[in-house]
Chain A
């Protein structure tokens, strides 16, 4: 039925099979729509957020998807600015993953602010000393950049490409992509950093507070580094998942291996700096606040095991696997390492957001627990549903992987 829209020379499943594949994700979207409606109609009392947990599940999801979506800007930087031509075979997928992550995060923030109708206040009545304002500016501008980077991929659709004007427009956009990639790199660097910096300057909460350089706490640099290390891992994971589901080889090994190698180096550097930062915090910030390291892990479910998981299991271990050429060339190990690296980054964002708020600060404070409501889960899962739907539609109707036809000739 939709065969005229499919890319030429490649094989896709039937329309019926594709429709059945979309059903569970449409279900997630429906759950999210109902949750969003309730939150907008009745207010944020539909959530378990409070004056203590002003940042909760949605912000964990936001920060996690923004870090995982960093593959778009970093792959764009490597492809268009550094000139790594091999990555042209994976850049389309990276851009779409980035677009999904950032648009999903923005949609979730639209519900999180409670009154989306006043969302423009942050731009017009900006508090220029707020790191969150900087983040808002940068992610809004970067979403524009990602949309511009997405347009030429859409225009490569078989039918749209026949329209001469659109074909030339898409070609010219491709030609100037380096300008947009450079702008995206600048914007991403600052918002990834400011998301980390925001926690580092919480001097009233010694669990998150950090020393730093000039106005930037060390978390500023660690968040940038962790995002550019984990972003390409997430791009590799999504590509490998698409390959498994479609039972095809979609990207040449040299592109995947190059991304994995760069990720390995960055993840190793991140782990060295993260360990140094943790030691500096343990022997600097914590004693100065009149506390001991173990004071933070006295109550609740968040124990030292989280530090061990974040640094050793989901940090050092994937970095080592990706550093060893033979290990990263083995598909199973590559996928495991990428999955572990992504888990580590999500765990890092969770610790900085939820654990920071849960741990008591003053002697008369108590440990605060938080469990999301079904409405909060609904909106978070809707972002996953939206992402899978958009990526599936992009794979079906657009030449997402330029080498697909070459790697899978139809006999």
Chain B
């Protein structure tokens, strides 16, 4: 139920009951979005695992050619 539903009533009971539900959902949603964004931002900064093959040096200079 949202404030746009026909059953909705603008009184304190509805605001507390549904408000707490939406606060809980918002905290869960924001927590997940934060973790996803942080993971996205951490990806370039974290080191690659040591088992990846070393990059061939001349490939890094392709952009200079």
Using a CB–CB cutoff of 8 Å, the interface residues on chain A facing chain B are: 123-126, 128-129, 134, 137, 141, 144-145, 148, 162, 164-165, 168-169, 172-173, 176, 179-180, 183, 186-187
A126 touches B42 (CB 8 A): no
Given the known inter-chain contacts A125-B1, A128-B14, A164-B46, please indicate yes or no for A169 contacting B7, CB distance below 8 A.
no
Q: Does B49 contact A (CB under 8 A)?
A: yes
Q: Which of B21, B28, B32 contacts A137 (CB 8 A)?
A: B21
Kindly state whether residue B56 has any CB partner on chain A within 8 Å. no
A95 shortest CB reach to chain B, Å: 15
Q: How far is the CA of A145 from the CA of B35 in the complex (A)?
A: 14
Smallest CB separation, A147 vs chain B (Å):
10
The secondary-structure label for the interface of chain B is: helix
Residues in B neighbouring A137, C-beta threshold 8 A:
21
Asked if B21 and A141 make an inter-chain contact with CB atoms under 8 angstroms apart, the answer reads yes
* A22 and B7 alpha carbons, distance in the complex (Å): 48
27 residue pairs of the A-B complex, CB under 8 angstroms, read A125-B1, A126-B1, A126-B7, A126-B17, A126-B18, A129-B13, A134-B17, A141-B21, A141-B25, A145-B28, A148-B32, A162-B49, A164-B43, A165-B39, A168-B43, A169-B36, A169-B39, A172-B35, A172-B38, A172-B39, A173-B35, A176-B35, A179-B27, A180-B28, A180-B31, A186-B24, A187-B24
Q: Is the CB of A144 within 8 A of B43?
A: no
Known A124-B1, A125-B1, A128-B18; contact A141-B35, beta-carbon cutoff 8 A: no
Residues in B with CB closer than 8 Å to A124 are 1, 5
For the complex, is B59 an interface residue (Cβ under 8 Å from A)?
no
- Chain A residues with Cβ under 8 A from B35's Cβ? 169, 172-173, 176
**A123-B1 in contact given A134-B17, A180-B31 (Cβ < 8 Å):** yes
Q: What B residues does A169 contact at CB under 8 A?
A: 35-36, 39
Interface footprint category on B: 20 to 34
Q: Are B21 and A168 in contact (CB under 8 A)?
A: no
Q: Mark B10-45, 1 if CB is under 8 A from A, else 0.
A: 000110011001001101100110111011001100
Chain B minimum-CB-distance residue to A133: B17
In angstroms, Cα B5 to Cα A183, docked, is 26
A173 to B37, CA, bound (A): 11
Residues in B neighbouring A168, C-beta threshold 8 A: 39, 42-43, 46
Q: What are the residues of chain B within 8 A of A148 when measuring CB–CB?
A: 28, 31-32
B7: nearest chain-A partner, CB-CB: A125
| Whole-angstrom CA separation of A186 from B28 in the bound complex | 12
Name A124's closest neighbour in chain B (CB-CB): B1
Give complex CA distance A305, B31 in Å.
Answer: 49
| B28 close to A183 (CB less than 8 A) | yes
Nearest CB to that of B35 among chain A residues?
Answer: A172
Measured CA separation A172–B17 after assembly (Å) = 31
Q: In the complex, what distance in Å separates the CA atom of A193 from the CA atom of B38?
A: 36
A176 x B25 contact (CB < 8 A): no
Q: Does B48 contact A (CB under 8 A)?
A: yes
- Are A172 and B49 CB-contacts (below 8 A) given A124-B5, A128-B18, A145-B28? no
| Chain B hits for A123, CB < 8 A | 1
Complexed CA–CA distance, A165 and B42 (Å): 9
The listed residue (B5, B27, B38, B49) touching A164 by CB distance below 8 A is B49
Q: CB distance B17 to A128 under 8 Å? A: yes
Nearest Cβ in chain B — how far from A224, in angstroms? 17
A186 to B42: give the CA distance in the assembly, Å: 30
Q: Give the residue name and chain of the A residue nearest to B15 (CB).
A: A128
Report the Cα distance A16→B21, complex, angstroms: 46
- A172 CB contacts on chain B under 8 angstroms: 35, 38-39, 42
User: How far apart sit A141 and B28, CA to CA, in the bound complex (Å)?
Assistant: 9
Top 6 closest A-B pairs, CB basis? A128-B17, A169-B39, A172-B35, A179-B31, A172-B38, A126-B1
A183→B24 contact, CB < 8 A: yes
B20 CB → nearest A CB, Å: 8
In Å, the complex CA distance between A180 and B38 comes to 16
**B27–A128 CB distance below 8 A:** no
Verify A144–B28 contact, CB threshold 8 A: yes
Closest to B16 in A: A128
Measured between alpha carbons, how far is A126 from B19 in the docked complex, in Å? 13
Distance (whole angstroms) from the CB of B14 to the closest CB of chain A: 6
B42 to chain A, nearest CB (A): 5
A144 to chain B: closest residue by CB: B28
Instruction: Name, among A125, A145, A148, A172, the residue most crowded by chain B CB atoms within 10 Å (CB to CB).
Output: A172
